[in-house]
Amino acid sequence: MRNKVISATEAVKAIKSGSTLTIGGNTIRRHPLGLVREIIRQEIKDLTIYVWVAGIDVDLLVGAGCVRRVEAAYVGMGPLGFAPNVRRAVQEGRIEYEDFSETSMLARLRAAGMGLPYLPTKVLLGTGMAQYATHAKPVTCPFTGEQLYAVSAAKADVAILHGYYGDVHGNIQWPMVRNTDDIDPVIAKSADHVIFSVEQLIDPKTVMSNPTMTYIPHNWVNAVVEMPYGAHPGTCDGIYDPDSRHLEEYMEAAKSDDTFKAYLDKYVFGTKDDFEYLEQAAGLAHLLSLRVSH
Amino acid sequence: MTEYTLNELMAVNVARQLHDDEMGFIGVGTGGRAFTVAVGLPIVAARLAQLTHAPNFTIQIGTIISPDLENIPKVFTENHITTWPTMARVRADDNLDMFVKGKVDVGFVSGPQIDQYGNINITVIGDYKKPKVRLVGCLALPEHLAFARRAFVITDHNARTFVENVHFVTGVGWQANGKSREEYNLPGGGPVYVFTDLGVFDFNGEGHRMQALTLHPGVTPDMVQEKTGFPVIIPPNVPTSILPTEEEIELIRTKIDPENILLKY
Amino acid sequence: MLNSRILTIEEAAAGIPDGSVVTVGGFGVFLQPMAMMREMIRQGKNDINLLSVGEAYAADLLVGGGCVRSVTLASFGFEAVTGRSRNFCKAVEQGKVEVEDYSHFSMASRFLAGAMGLPFTAVHSMRGSDLLDHLPEGKKYVKMDCPFSGEEVILLPAAKPDIAIIQAQRADMDGNLQVMGPTICIEEQARAAKRVIAIVEEIVPRSVIQANPTATLLPSFFVDTLVVLPYSAHPMASYGYYDYDLEHLYTYTNSSKTPESWKGYLDEYVYAPKDHYEYLEQVGGLRKIMQLRADPLLGY
């Protein structure tokens, strides 16, 4: 068992232009945004993204021009409304977008994690998604004869996720108090190469004292990056709330390509790493004020 | 005569249709009115049902199974939702499996476009490939309409929402793309009620088209037709909607939503 | 209700009059109210009389800041960075600070008497020690034959500070104060004082306090003023939250070697930063404080 801790810069080198990428989190919660910012910094392009219920992660990548295609059950900013960059890009025909429902996208990611080429589902019957999806085909059940849809495995080259705590070997733990509305374990299983950013590196003995809190064992993980506030400006449930102040700035900037370019120049291209980004985007006092009680 | 607001009237009408021992699935909402119809109003209806005729009615808000409705958060922001006392917080994938299997008795849904057969669109306005307006996508709306035992639609009544044919079928109602619900063999019951600011509707009209079940006090068939983009079936002598009792209003204002957070907008 | 008495650190420090008799909680590398010491220096406090046990770094800083007239103490050695607390020692050697020495247990016992509302305490400590030679008999101690057993005991006056400044981990809005890790003499110091200023990392909901009742060291009626300030013990450790900053402790002790370097330390870390957050930026900012975070199991 080796030490898998590397820098964000090193970790992101595993993501090639033109490849497929899957991302953990949900709307504005616990996305690996520090890693996303590094992807943008390294000007990786033409990505095909597989996500479930995504948000600012995909909106950032689309706004930065890194994305060719999105396959998702939802991309939006939750309580803040639509994902502005994604919406504009789809309306202007600049990216391809394929819709799936929550269970059918889950089925696609699960199939990948199970080493299967597809899984069947009923939910697409009669829907517009079935009409337009390239990854859904009608099939007849060989046992019951009923009509179903087969959805193909969404197997990404790389998965990036943000975990709460991790050790140097890549064991990722969650806390007692958390928001469970995500499919991060499914996403972690689905891809070939898995990178986790974590809020805090903890001692392997700490992990061993509480093994049922390990939701991703080290043997599923290829790289670990310690990135405190790595989900900023989103929330990391149980650790800090979303940064409403910065999110407001983001939503304003994402209204047009020009203003978003200025946002990226200031906060992503203008910062050499995520600590610099955090100092620019929030500052120490403000970040500490976002913490929620233990 | 008990005095009540429109939101209270709607909440009471929803509550009266909830049965004891059922589980209702409430999703997430954005802010303002969208929050009220998607989240606030269903929570009030659920709690009201619990306190009156359906003490064993319970809800799940996504993966939050049976949150304590005595302790509804004052603010529906992240940490308050994360720390809301509840019986269980399950993994989302397990939760979705049980949804498909039929564990959701009542699915609360809403959407920007609904047609006369109860098909709902939350994906695009206009052409799919190059839409006039790109909406949110799918979320679990398809699941609600395919697998919930009964889906309850809650929305405001206007002709932009109630269209003759949705531009895109995100969730299947009673008839889509020329085939009926039965032909698709969807296991769930589909949309059974639509609760709006004008009345309560079902899909028992001929050919499973939307039909008025009751109209709110002061609402005429003309008013409904004006705000609906397809011919709504309104039976002659259609009854008036259920009016809240004094007890129900008292419960809503003093026990369930004393600080007017859930029904504010 | 305490929540009307949640003050900023500036407001809380402003309420400490010159000439007060003050006790400061903490020991070794733990839990000393360093941000408060810095604020007191910034506000130019004078003639503070410290009733101390072993909170060496806090006392050394306050003395180095020129705020202190007298110190009653047990021991001021620097943990982690070995050596004398130079600012304190020099001030005594130069006659700038009056000093009274007691044994460690004697001070703890004096605070206990104060906490119990008694005028004096009885100890066996210091019998035969030179310490007693330097304390005026009759005023600072009395030798007495126990009226029950006949054995000789030393009576010491109760320690009754005007103000106790207590660094803790967390409290609820009412001021129920929880301390994790070594509590040292914090409880006795606080209960002996007329007024308590508590400085915490965070306010938690009442339910969190209730889930862990044995961690409540001081119920709310013992806490008069509450200040909420993250990393306010820096460079000391706050168990369960963050470890001590060894790098900064070396900076501190090295700078106390000469008056010029000490002035440099005060200028850079006390006078220049306009508030506690600017101080944190000075000592390494986000990168440093994230590094200091405690392991959730180990607490440090």
Q: Is B189 or A78 the better-scoring residue by pLDDT?
A: B189
Is C281 close to A165, i.e. CB distance below 8 A?
no
Residue A146 lies in a domain: yes
Residue A294 banded pLDDT, cuts 50, 70, 90:
low
Task: Output the domain CATH number for residue B114.
Answer: 3.40.1080.10
Low-confidence ranges of chain C (pLDDT < 50): 1
Chain mean position to CA A108: 16
The B residues from 230 to 249 touching A (CB cutoff 8 Å) are none
Q: Which residues contact C268 (CB under 8 A, 6 or more apart)?
A: C282
Cβ-based contacts of B131 with chain A (< 8 Å): 90-91
State the nearest Cα–Cα gap between A273 and chain C, in angstroms. 11
Rounded to 5°, the CA angle B238-B239-B243 comes to 150
The encoded tokens of residue A145 equal: 């004869």
Average pLDDT over residues B171-190: 96
Residue with tokens 């930026």: C281
State the nearest Cα–Cα gap between C291 and chain A, in angstroms. 9
The count of domains in chain B is 1
User: Given A73, A124, A179, which is nearest B137 (Cβ)?
Assistant: A73
The residue among A35, A293, A281, A265 whose CA lies nearest residue C204 is A293
Q: How confident is the model over A275-285, as pLDDT tens digits? A: 999 999 999 99
**Domain shared by A133 and A97, yes or no:** no
Q: Any CB–CB contact under 8 A between B140 and chain A?
A: yes
Residues in chain A, total: 294
Rounded Cα distance, C142 and A145, in Å: 101
Residue B32 lies in a domain: yes
Domain range for B215 is 6-256
The encoded tokens of residue C267 equal: 């200028």
For the beta sheet containing C152-157, the strands, ordered from the edge strand earlier in sequence to the opposite edge, are: C120-123, C152-157, C142-145
Q: How confident is the model over C100-131, as pLDDT tens digits? A: 999 999 999 999 999 999 999 999 988 888 88
3-state SS, B198-255, equals: CEEEECCCHHHCCEEEEECCCCCHHHHHHCCCCCCECCCCCCECCCCCHHHHHHHHHH
Omega before C235 within 30 of 0, i.e. cis: yes
Residue A74 lies in a domain: yes
pLDDT at A283: 97
pLDDT at C128: 85
Residue B262 lies in a domain: no
Residue B220 lies in a domain: yes
Give the residues across from A166 on adjacent strands: A172, A201
Is A127 close to B169, i.e. CB distance below 8 A?
yes
Instruction: Report the mean per-residue pLDDT for chain A.
Output: 97
Task: Output the domain CATH number for residue A90.
Answer: 3.40.1080.10
Residue B264 lies in a domain: no
Q: Any CB–CB contact under 8 A between B96 and chain A?
A: yes
Is B140 close to A177, i.e. CB distance below 8 A?
no
pLDDT at B29: 72
Contact C258, A169 (CB under 8 A): no
3-state SS, B51-77, equals: HCCCCCCEEEECCEEEECCCCCCCCCC
Residue B1 lies in a domain: no
CA-to-CA separations, A69 to A49, A95, A261, in angstroms, rounded = 6, 5, 20
| Percent helix, percent strand, percent coil in chain A, to nearest 5 | 35, 25, 40
Rounded to 5°, the CA angle A70-A71-A76 comes to 75
Residue A111 lies in a domain: no
Residue B110 lies in a domain: yes
- Has residue A206 got a pLDDT over 60? yes
User: Given A210, A279, A293, which is nearest C285 (Cβ)?
Assistant: A279
- Has residue A241 got a pLDDT over 70? yes
Is C297 close to A288, i.e. CB distance below 8 A?
no
pLDDT at C2: 54
Q: Any CB–CB contact under 8 A between B139 and chain A?
A: yes
Residue A172 lies in a domain: yes
**Domain shared by A214 and A69, yes or no:** yes
User: Given C280, C293, C295, which is nearest A203 (Cβ)?
Assistant: C295
The residue among C243, C244, C246, C235 whose CA lies nearest residue C269 is C235
Q: How confident is the model over A17-36, as pLDDT tens digits? A: 999 999 999 999 999 999 99
Residue A81 lies in a domain: yes
Is A177 close to B130, i.e. CB distance below 8 A?
no
Q: Which chains touch C (3 or more CB pairs under 8 A)?
A: A
Is B89 close to A106, i.e. CB distance below 8 A?
no
pLDDT at C1: 41
Rounded Cα distance, B136 and A100, in Å: 11
Q: Any CB–CB contact under 8 A between A285 and chain C?
A: yes
Q: Any CB–CB contact under 8 A between A260 and chain C?
A: no
Contact B142, B176 (CB under 8 A): no
CA-to-CA separations, A219 to A36, B158, B257, in angstroms, rounded = 23, 54, 48
The count of domains in chain A is 2
Residue A109 lies in a domain: no
Residue B240 banded pLDDT, cuts 50, 70, 90:
very high
**Domain shared by A253 and A267, yes or no:** yes
- How many beta-carbon pairs below 8 A join chains A and B? 163
Residue B52 banded pLDDT, cuts 50, 70, 90:
very high
**Domain shared by A180 and A168, yes or no:** yes
The residue among B60, B225, B251, B56 whose CA lies nearest residue B144 is B60
- Has residue A221 got a pLDDT over 90? yes
**Domain shared by A17 and A95, yes or no:** yes
Residue B261 lies in a domain: no
Contact B123, B114 (CB under 8 A): no
User: Given A73, A185, A241, which is nearest B79 (Cβ)?
Assistant: A241
Rounded Cα distance, A82 and B154, in Å: 20
Residue A273 lies in a domain: yes
Domain range for A129 is 118-152
User: Given A27, A106, A128, which is nearest B123 (Cβ)?
Assistant: A128
Give the residues across from C200 on adjacent strands: C228
pTM of the model: 0.93
Residue A97 lies in a domain: yes
**Domain shared by A75 and A204, yes or no:** yes
Q: Any CB–CB contact under 8 A between A241 and chain C?
A: no
Is C208 close to A206, i.e. CB distance below 8 A?
no
Q: How confident is the model over A103-149, as pLDDT tens digits? A: 999 999 999 999 999 999 999 999 999 999 999 999 999 999 999 99
**Domain shared by A69 and A97, yes or no:** yes
Is B123 close to A99, i.e. CB distance below 8 A?
yes
Contact C33, C25 (CB under 8 A): yes
User: Given A165, A210, A287, which is nearest C286 (Cβ)?
Assistant: A287
Residue B263 lies in a domain: no
In C64-147, beta strands by DSSP E = 68-73, 98-101, 120-123, 142-145
State the nearest Cα–Cα gap between A129 and chain B, in angstroms. 7
Omega before B244 within 30 of 0, i.e. cis: no
Cβ-based contacts of B169 with chain A (< 8 Å): 126-128
Chain A CA closest to residue C171: A293
Best residue of A52, A80, A99, A104 to probe chain B, by most B CBs closer than 10 Å: A99
3-state secondary structure (DSSP) of residue C132: helix
Q: Which residues contact C119 (CB under 8 A, 6 or more apart)?
A: C113, C157, C158
**Domain shared by A194 and A259, yes or no:** yes
**Domain shared by A130 and A59, yes or no:** no
**Domain shared by A262 and A238, yes or no:** yes
**Domain shared by A224 and A246, yes or no:** yes
Rounded Cα distance, A99 and B124, in Å: 10
Identify the DSSP state of A54: E
Is A183 close to B184, i.e. CB distance below 8 A?
no
**Domain shared by A190 and A131, yes or no:** no
State the nearest Cα–Cα gap between A95 and chain B, in angstroms. 10
- Has residue A3 got a pLDDT over 90? yes
> Which H or E run contains C105?
helix C104-115
Q: How confident is the model over B58-105, as pLDDT tens digits? A: 999 999 999 999 999 988 889 999 999 999 999 999 999 999 999 999
Rounded Cα distance, A61 and A44, in Å: 10
**Neighbouring C-beta atoms of residue C274, cutoff 10 Å:** 9
The residue among B92, B104, B100, B93 whose CA lies nearest residue B57 is B104
Q: Any CB–CB contact under 8 A between A53 and chain B?
A: yes
Cβ-based contacts of B132 with chain A (< 8 Å): 91
Is A205 close to C230, i.e. CB distance below 8 A?
no
